[in-house]
A and B are shown apart, each in its own frame.
Chain A
Amino acid sequence: AQSVSQHNHHVILSEAASLELGCNYSYGGTVNLFWYVQYPGQHLQLLLKYFSGDPLVKGIKGFEAEFIKSKFSFNLRKPSVQWSDTAEYFCAVNEGNAGKSTFGDGTTLTVKP
């Protein structure tokens, strides 16, 4: 069965620090990859997604993620975080046309002003 691992459970950063959140998955076939964000009191929103093409994808709010097929990874990055980036971040993997997604356990990001 598909599994998704997010290694960082809670990350605490100061404003302007760089961010990298890890995401690894286990499925060996064709995958679609997603990062979602859940701000406090709000519902899940799509940050970015990868289906094919350029493995470096750019999303909203300055986030980007790189798909490295050989490492089964899809790490999320942002060069300079802001206090407003404080949220829960979820990595999700969709096995091609299977339709359903498997989510990682999430990473709580706290950005100190």
Chain B
Amino acid sequence: GAVVSQHPSRVICKSGTSVKIECRSLDFQATTMFWYRQFPKKSLMLMATSNEGSKATYEQGVEKDKFLINHASLTLSTLTVTSAHPEDSSFYICSARDLVGGETQYFGPGTRLLVL
């Protein structure tokens, strides 16, 4: 089956620093990837849609200058949390859409970010 990886799986950083999270589709090409944020005991909140070779589309209320998304290739999208603050601590999940499978999204294992 389609596999999506994320790196790192968890990261601890100081307030004010930037953190980059990678999302890779390992065995398929993904023209579209999605970035979600999951709060404890809550559902996934879509942050942005990342399209290969073009600018990401951000959901309402998500600061695009704070959450920089780059989708440079058909298998890699990155999310950079800039000038991180403790309130950015969360579980970030990416997914990649396999067009061959028809609109199905395959999810990465997530990245736990803790900002001190």
Contact A99:B97 (CB < 8 A) given known A43-B109, A43-B110, A49-B104: yes
19 contacts between A and B (CB under 8 A): A34-B104, A43-B107, A43-B109, A43-B110, A44-B93, A44-B95, A44-B107, A51-B102, A51-B103, A94-B103, A99-B32, A99-B97, A100-B49, A101-B105, A102-B46, A103-B44, A104-B43, A105-B43, A106-B43
Main secondary structure of the interface of A (DSSP, over half): strand
B106 within 8 A of A: yes
Interchain CA distance A51-B104 in the complex, whole Å = 10
Contact A43:B43 (CB < 8 A) given known A51-B103, A94-B103: no
A90 within 8 A of B: yes
Query: How many positions in chain A have a CB within 8 Å of any CB in the partner chain?
Result: 20
A75-113: contact bitstring with B at CB < 8 Å (1 yes, 0 no)? 000000000000000100010000111111110000000
A-to-B contact residues, CB < 8 Å: 32, 34, 36, 42-46, 49, 51, 90, 94, 99-106
Residues B97 and A105 in contact, CB atoms below 8 Å apart: no
B-to-A contact residues, CB < 8 Å: 32, 34, 42-44, 46, 49, 93, 95, 97, 102-110
Interchain CA distance A99-B46 in the complex, whole Å = 12
Residues B49 and A99 in contact, CB atoms below 8 Å apart: yes
The closest CB in chain A to the CB of B6 belongs to: A43
Interchain CA distance A45-B2 in the complex, whole Å = 11
> In the complex, which residues of chain B have a beta carbon less than 8 angstroms from the beta carbon of A104?
43
Interchain CA distance A104-B46 in the complex, whole Å = 12
